[in-house]
Structure 1
């Protein structure tokens, strides 16, 4: 979790957020990016924003709210705000049972359908890609499935996140042992080069992935994403309220080609959110399909 839990001390006391300051900031964040912070998570906002107040020499959360609205540096600070309120806990090959279903069932089906049409193109959207582990994992799986044939395919993985900082990290493609903790050893040897104590993604994988900043709250951002065969949005919609979830899932539906697939986090569900997708049950995973 990329969070800041340091405490700011003001006049010898720990800085606290008032109920009204919390409501103002919570509503502001929701209006900006759709992330909803419930009343019982007031402490989270207080802890994560304390360091920003200290950095900006602001005396309370009310001043910070004013800064975000009116200061000349508000645009830059908004990016910092997005960084500290989002969670970027991830790793390569996260949730192996789900990825096994993706590799053996979903990807195999999409590739077969493309071949039937005489096509060799594939578009995958990783929405909420964090520091790049997910889209690069997808590139590895594609390489494993298509093998020597992959050079003849037109493949693009569009990888987006709200945080500019994590995208900068993703583009570098350099990772520690910790990011590789769930990755099979033979995959590490095949798709990474050692870089001191770290590991660097091989260039042929980097070429498959295109990174860019996106705000899932902004419909104009969503419409700019190329139509997809498969959408990954894992462990993202848990941060949204039902209205925002419905808006985002509807955008994914519109983005997908008929017959395309949506893959969300294994603990997430579209129950009571959307009936437009057909749920397909596999051992260890539920995958959602846009019917042709």
Structure 2
């Protein structure tokens, strides 16, 4: 999941939202997704939601809120699309990825080899349209090379948006997705097609995608226990209560000695004391101690 409301909607005649309606809709979104929208972004509700109200032939936000509360789930999917904007690319934040590869990933692969268990589970939480989990799969292919055929690797990639999950499963990307990607990586792991560039099968089979709400504790329990959790540029859109809740889900999912990786602008300093922070050039990794 990328930045929340990072781009204005196309100019249109907006339906006005009152302060009371804003609070009701904001609280509904928080209850369902854990995403907290600051009052300073009230005007973005008007620009983002006005088109949807028109499609539903609704004339006010009060009508829309009533519609949401009576809906059986389909409109909730539309709501999730409206409150998230997905900004991502392959090989994003390369310094952090290199630190992760050279320290965390190498350590975990060596541990599994020594234990005689050639298995690795990674949970990519807030995977957007798939660039991050596919990048992790490419890192593993680059590191393991021919040895990868002996490994059982599962990257479980989840996102709030069902539309993003479908895009990720399709695995076809335009030029913008490669703005931070070395040309050699694109040539090696993608095939050019009419619509853009399609991820190769050897990368795709390492990743399993599913739509999931991080505010659903039962859903988080269905994720396989992991050696590594990646959740970058997601928790910054939660309030403190939700941040602590989600980080606890990650802690519970991780196997002893596992690692949580968050975005370079994110920190667990005031959220959780249960992880041990490890500092590398370009990255902080949070370790669940034995």
Q: TM-score, normalised by structure 1?
A: 0.95
2:33 corresponds in structure 1 to: 33
Query: C-alpha separation between the residues in 1 aligned to 2:269 and 2:115?
Result: 33
Which whole-Å deviations, capped at 9, do the CAs of 1:82-102 have from their partners, x for residues lacking one? 011012000000000000011
| C-alpha contact (below 8 Å) 1:25/1:65 kept by paired residues | yes
**What's 1:145 paired with?**
143
Counterpart in the other structure of 2:280: 282
Alpha-carbon distance in 2 for matches of 1:115, 1:155: 13
Residue in 2 that maps onto 1:180? 178
Report whether the alignment pairs 1:6 with 2:4. Answer: no
Residue aligning to 2:45: 45
CA contact (8 A) 2:220 2:249 kept: yes
Paired residues of 2:96 and 2:283 also in contact (CA < 8 A): yes
CA–CA distance in 1 between the matches of 2:206 and 2:48?
A: 35
Match of 2:252 in 1: 254
**Is the CA contact (8 Å cut-off) linking 2:172 and 2:199 kept in structure 1?**
yes
**TM-score with structure 2 setting the length:** 0.96
- 1:63 CA drift (Å): 0.6
Q: Give 1:51 shift.
A: 1.2
Residue matched to 1:103:
101
Alpha-carbon distance in structure 2 between the residues aligned to 1:149 and 1:258 = 25
Residue 8 of structure 1: how far off its partner (Å): 4.7
Q: Which residue of 1 aligns with 2:64?
A: 64
Separation (CA, whole Å) in 1 of partners of 2:155 and 2:62: 41
Q: Which has the higher contact order (CA 8 A, sep 6+)?
A: 2
Q: How does 1:1-292 map to 2 (within 5 A)?
A: 5-9=9-13, 14-71=14-71, 74-196=72-194, 198-292=196-290
Q: Residue 94 of structure 1 aligns to a residue in which SS?
A: coil
User: Do 2:90 and 2:181's aligned partners in 1 also have CA atoms closer than 8 Å?
Assistant: yes
Cα distance, 1:116 vs. partner?
Answer: 1.3
Note the C-alpha offset of 1:4.
6.3
Matched positions, count: 286
Q: Which runs of 5+ in 2 are unaligned?
A: none
Work out the CA distance in 2 between the residues paired with 1:246 and 1:46.
Answer: 30
